[in-house]
Amino acid sequence: MASAGLGLSAVFGPATFCAVTGGSRGLGRSIAVLLAERLGEGSRLVLTGRSLQGLQDTKRQVEEKCPNQLEVKLVTGDMGDSTAYPALFYDIFADTGPGAFQNALIIHNAASLGDMGKKAAEHSDPEILNKYYATNLTSVIALTAKFMEVFSGSNVRRTVVNISSAVAVEPLAYQSLYCSGKAARNMFFKVMAEEEPDVRVLSYSPGPMATDMLQAVRSCGDKKVEDRFNAMESQGLILSPDASAKHMCTLLEEDKFKSGAFLDVFGRFSL
């Protein structure tokens, strides 16, 4: 049941608006399903992604957990296309009139890896780069700006989560775009946290998880990378996205993190 064993918290209590990007699979799906149990009466969960089918599957799983209470809205779109943002963002935040929600939570989870066949020095096409950073950086910034505009006003408790990665601080060969995009996001949100002391800002590194994304990294063709993930797997270090989503939710509910902090699921760093 919605509140059994957990209680509703200040973060996920009644009348919470929550948007999760990249909700069609992987960590985004796990977060959505976990939140379904915890969002209180009058809440709304908005899931975005490129795959309508994936979003629908997520919605189905969410509704299994929480059949009556939660309004789930699906918005399909491609964050790589900045001309589509106005329409996309409009859909995400439609019907969020003043007073509708007491809490607002946005989880920037959608991400792409970029071409892992290329070394840093081989990224020569500006259009590909622009698209990459549109998906992974500028969409996040513009969407956050919209979120803050929609939920301006002091009586809405606002939380912004940046799903980050250890590679924001640890260089990984063939991942120059992914590493740099995550580094940029972390820093952006650190500045935001300083400027907006009444917004809870968290950069969360979910750890290596059994998702399509990890599979893609693993099969990028670089033996060192493959070996590394094989070793992690044999040491039981690959998490389920559900476990990582749970840890993230716990961090949010405990609400002790310093705004702007970059925290890792294993507690390996806290930057």
Partner 1 sequence: MASAVFGPATFCAVTGGSRGLGRSIAVLLAGRLGQGSRLVLTGRSLQGLQETKRQVEEKSPNQLEVKLLTGDLEDSAAHAAHFCDIFADAQQGTFKNALMINNAATLGDGTKKASEHSDPQILTKYYAANLTSVITLTSKFMKVFPSTSVRRTVVNITSDSAINPLVNHSLYCSGKAARNMFFKVMAEEDPDVRVLSYSPGPLDTDMLHTVRSCGNKGVEDLLTSMESSGMILSPADSAEHLLNLLEKDTFLSGDFLDIFNFKY
Site residues for partner 1 per CB under 8 A: 82, 85, 119-127, 129-130, 133-134, 137-139, 141-142, 144-146, 148-149, 167-169, 171-177, 179-196, 199, 260
Calpha distance 242→110 (Å, rounded): 16
Answer whether 208's CB lies under 8 Å from 228's CB: no
H or E stretch covering 222:
none
Residue closer to partner 1, measured from CB, 41 or 196:
196
Query: CB-wise, 12 or 262, nearer to partner 1?
Result: 262
Q: What is the DSSP letter of 209?
A: B
CB 179 to partner 1: min, Å: 5
Q: What's the rounded Cα separation, in Å, for the pair 193 and 50?
A: 29
Ordered DSSP codes for 60-123: HHHHHHSTTT-EEEEEE--TT-GGGHHHHHHHHTTT--TTS-SEEEEEE-------TTS-GGG-
Place of tokens 């059949």: 67
Q: Does an H or E element contain 218, and which?
A: helix 212-218
- Shortest distance, position 155 Cβ to partner 1, whole Å: 17
What is the residue whose two structure tokens read 């491609």? Answer: 78
CB of 164 to partner 1, least distance (A): 12
Nearer to partner 1, 38 or 158 (CB): 158
Q: How far is the CB of 125 from partner 1 (least distance, A)?
A: 7
Closest CB 59 distance from partner 1, rounded Å = 28
Compare residues 187 and 243 and give the one whose CB is closer to partner 1.
Answer: 187
237 vs 271, beta carbon nearer partner 1: 271
